[in-house]
Each structure stands twice: as structure tokens, then as C-alpha cells.
Amino acid sequence: MIFNRPISGFGYNTFYSIYPEYQMTYFKKNPDSKYIKFADNTKYGFNEILQIGAEYGIIGIILTFVFTIYLFTIKNEKNKFIVSPVKYTILSIFLLSLFSYPLRRVETLLTITTFTGILASFDKRFLLSFNRTHHKLIIISLAICYFEIINTTINRNYAYTIWQESKKTSIPDKEKLLIYNSIEDKLKYDTLFLYDYAVILSNCNKNEESNIYFEKVLKHMNTSFIWILKGNNYKNTNNFNNAQNCYIHAFKMVPNRIFPLYQLMLLYKEYNKKNEMIKTAKLIKDFKIKIPSYTTLKIKEEANEIISIYNK
């Protein structure tokens, strides 16, 4: 990813949507890779520097290092018992970020922001002075922003509460769809809500509209299961080619999952494509299950049954 867009990267919060496609390309080129058994729907890079490089490019990495170096150049002998612990706390977080994703947590970002403010308060190099007029303008601007944020948050939280409550209830999907329609405008930037909305649309046989929302979801969250759901929508609207492509895409994205192959086998069976169905059934029969379960056992049994009936 970094090599493809080395300067500016792919943009804010794009790792979860872009990386799975690179993972799929890698496994296409390396079908016998030892990493296949570890493949998953990866959300984070498990290395903040590399993820920053993927999303913000070299510019993002440089700014991160400049920011870190600046913090560690702050010196204040008089208050060293405050400055030093704060510095090393931030350093420990950055060291941890080389092997995990602490910066994806709101709590961690608040900690870094607070500690950065503490360090900056001891730095005399960049102090700014404001006259009374400047102070008034700043206060008015902050007040306007504050009330706008509060108003937006209240509206969004109200819609969010309605959504969460409706998820817990056992009301019919058609009734849930009416509720989701009423709050869509407030939660149209919430990826998980859009995902639920797309699922409910699919359950209500609004398959084409459902796939429109799945496309919106894929811009922020790209998983093999979403591609399966898209394939099901295409299947329900008799769009064989797109359904087939979605199931194949889901399998190649995370090639240690058997369920996309199962959906593909059922698709071939429904469209009476005997050769493709038997070929896929044989793949399922020989498939090495990552985590055996009752479901995977039944899938293999169904594949064996198809082979025994049709492979004559």
C-alpha cells in the first residue's frame, strides 16, 4: 500500500477498506503461502507507523516523527519530575504502537493529547500572545463550535439509541426498516448502522437497494462476509455473474474460509451448472478447516453428497 501511494497515502481511516484487497492480490500471486492459514478480515495494521504510512504516506510518517522529536526536546529543569514521566509515558505508547494499535483507541488518544498539553505548557519557545479582541474572537468561535457539536451529538445519540433498542427487539424486519428509514439521515456516516441497514433491506427483499448500502459500507469496512451478502443479493435478483464474482472475491480475500465456497456451490446447483458445482464440491471436500465446527461438518457432508450423486 505504501509503495503504491508513498507521498500522501490512501487517506484517513481507509486501511480497513483497502488492505483486504491487497491481501487478496497477495494470495492470488502466492496460492501456497504459509500465511493463508493466518488470514482474516484485518481491521488494523498491528503497527501504527506502517498504518500511518498506508493512510497518510511519507508525509504522515514524517509529521509523526517531527511531533515526537519536538515533545522530547522540551526541557524544564525546574519541573523535571513532571516533564520526564510524561515524556516516557508517551514514548512507551509509541513503542507499543510498533506491535499493536493503541492509537486506534479513544482513551489512548485522549491520554496523548492531555500529556502533550502538559508538555507544551512547559515549553517557552512557542508561546503566543493575544490581545483582548483576539480573546473575544476565540471565545465566540469556540462557543459556536461547542454548541454546534453539542446539538449534533444530541441528535445523533438519540438516533443511535433508537437503533440499538430496535436491534434488541424481536419486531419484524419490515417494522425495523421503517425505524431505520426514520433515523438514516442522522446516522448516515455510521458504518455499522449502514451495514445493519443493508442487511435489513436484504431481509425485506430490497436486494438492489441493499447492495447500494453495502457499497457505502465497503468504502470503510471491507470483509469477506459483506461480499457474501452482496452475492446473496445478486443471487436473489437472478444476477448469476455478479453473484459468482462476489463469492469468488470473498473466498480469495480470506482463502481459509469455507463458507464462500459453499455459497458458490449452492449457486451452481441452483443454476444447474453441474461441472462447476462438482468442482467446487471437491474443493470443499478437500478443504482444510481452520476451526472445525458443526456447520463446517455439515457443509462437507453436503459437498460429499453432491459428489456421490452427480459425479457419475
What is the model's pLDDT at position 134?
Answer: 64
State how far the Cα of 242 lies from the Cα of 215, in Å rounded to an integer: 14
Q: Is the pLDDT of residue 182 over 70?
A: yes
Q: Is the pLDDT of residue 179 over 90?
A: yes
In order, the DSSP letters of 91-134 are HHHHHHTTTS-GGGSHHHHHHHHHHHHHHHHT--TT-----HHH
Q: Is the pLDDT of residue 147 over 80?
A: no
Confidence of residue 203 (pLDDT cuts 50, 70, 90): very high
State how far the Cα of 214 lies from the Cα of 199, in Å rounded to an integer: 9
What is the model's pLDDT at position 107?
Answer: 84
Instruction: Report long-range pairs for 259-264 (Cβ below 8 Å, ≥24 apart).
Output: 259/228, 259/299, 260/224, 260/227, 260/228, 261/287, 262/299, 262/302, 262/303, 263/228, 263/231, 263/232
Mean pLDDT calculated for residue range 132-147: 73
Q: What percent of the chain has pLDDT over 70?
A: 94
What is the model's pLDDT at position 6?
Answer: 87
Residue appearing with cell numbers 458458490: 264
- How far from 59 is each of 4, 12, 72, 113, 207, CA to CA, in Å? 14, 13, 20, 21, 42
Confidence of residue 272 (pLDDT cuts 50, 70, 90): very high
What is the pTM for the complete model shown?
A: 0.85
What is the model's pLDDT at position 312?
Answer: 65
Query: Residue 9: which of 62, 52, 66, 47 has the closest Cα?
Result: 52
Of 63-72, 271-280, 284-293, give the range with the top mean pLDDT: 271-280
Query: Residue 227: which of 240, 215, 239, 241 has the closest Cα?
Result: 215
Q: What domains, with CATH codes, occur in the chain?
A: 15-121 (no CATH), 170-310 (1.25.40.10)
CB 6 within 8 A of CB 225: no
Q: What is the pLDDT of residues 214-230, one digit of tens each?
A: 999 999 999 999 999 99
Of the ranges 136-145, 182-191, 225-234, which one carries the lowest mean pLDDT score?
Answer: 136-145
What is the model's pLDDT at position 284?
Answer: 94
